[in-house]
Amino acid sequence: MLVVLSTYLGVFLRKLLVTGGAGFIGSNFVHYVLENTDDHVTVLDKLTYAGNRASLAGLPAERFTFVHGDIANPELVDSLVGNADVIVHYAAESHNDNSLHDPRPFLDTNVIGTFTLLEAARRHDVRFHHISTDEVYGDLELDDPARFTEQTPYNPSSPYSSTKAASDLLVRAWVRSFGVKATISNCSNNYGPYQHVEKFIPRQITNVLTGERPKLYGAGENVRDWIHANDHSSAVLTIIEKGVIGETYLIGADGEKNNKEVVELILTELGQESDAYDHVIDRPGHDMRYAIDSTKLRTELGWEPRFSDFESGLASTIQWYKDNEAWWAPQKAATEAKYVEQGQ
């Protein structure tokens, strides 16, 4: 059964509750929805260090509401879900390094928070879409031609990815046991505007912009399958509108690049020598390769990425960080100080 909630005729507006909507991927989704639909969006965000209210600046007040709060707060969640047509669940603790230093917040948000939302969706019979990651599948060998599919067994390797795997399994159980109208998407690594400077691509871009040398874990051979955040947003909206309840869809744009290639592309785009970076000690359990097979999403739901060329998407992202120093500069010094403490 296809669940279609499209209402672009102006007669009825969907009311979307977007958790984690002040974070990187969530804020890009909010911008995308408000620019491409007639929907109303309510964002629920705890505004931890990764959430930034400035990422939602300038949105139309008549179609956008912000609520500062915790997805693990049952009373608050219930009051918001009761007034929503669709829950789009982006909120997560998502930094692998942080999960190795202190796993507890990842359990609180990724597991208990997801449980709290699912229970509210169950009570109010509200459509639920769960945003997950390809990291739940573990990693692939560098010389393995395979890519992750919806049938790939879970094999998480960090506290972060294991809690995301747990949240995925909760969603599936609530669909099967309680009839919650949910779908799941597992996406490859996102890049684009509004990403915290602790993350790989914006860290390297902002290092160059501030006169610092980029940092590369180990030999830089680790491969990620990159997708622009706008393409992720369009895929999520497609799944909400056309996705089959209970199904999982993998989102990817065929953007495999190793970290060394990405750093060298950033340096070249910014007019630097391509080898002007430093190697730092690799992090524990660093997954070698992620690769997404998004055939199901493309063939069954008709989705295609706009930024199929990683280089053009990266150039657009670099330009955004050049143009928006006021957004990222307040984060930069504290982030680099933390990395220095960790020897990275």
Among the listed residues 96, 288, 286, 249, the one whose alpha carbon sits nearest the alpha carbon of residue 168? 249
Active-site hit among 45, 134, 264, 287: 134
How many whole angstroms separate alpha carbon 247 and alpha carbon 245?
A: 6
Burial of 57 from C-beta contacts in 10 A (0-12 / 13-18 / 19+): exposed
Let me know: does 166 contact 236? Beta carbons within 8 Å: no
Say if CB 110 and CB 130 are below 8 A apart. no
DSSP 222: -
Terminal Cα distance for the chain, rounded: 49
Q: Please report how the helices 310-323 and 200-209 are oriented relative to each other, as an axis angle in degrees rounded to 10.
A: 50
Q: Is 198 a catalytic residue?
A: no
Q: What angle do CA 92, 93, 95 make, to 5 degrees?
A: 130
Catalytic residue check, 160:
yes
Phi-psi region of 305 (alpha: psi -120 to 50; beta: other; left: phi over 0): beta
Mark whether 134 is an active-site residue: yes
Selecting among 39, 45, 93, 135, the annotated active-site residue is: 135
Indicate the SS3 state at residue 256: strand
Q: Which of 32, 90, 137, 160 is catalytic?
A: 160
Q: Which residue has the tokens 């507006």?
A: 13
CA distances from 90 to 29, 120, 203, 232 (A): 9, 16, 22, 12
38-42-45 Cα angle (round to 5)? 145
In the structure encoding, which two tokens stand for residue 72, read together?
């693990």
User: What DSSP assignment string belongs to 160-175?
Assistant: HHHHHHHHHHHHHHHH
Q: Per the structure block, which two tokens stand in for 65?
A: 């509401």
The catalytic site residues sit at: 134-135, 160
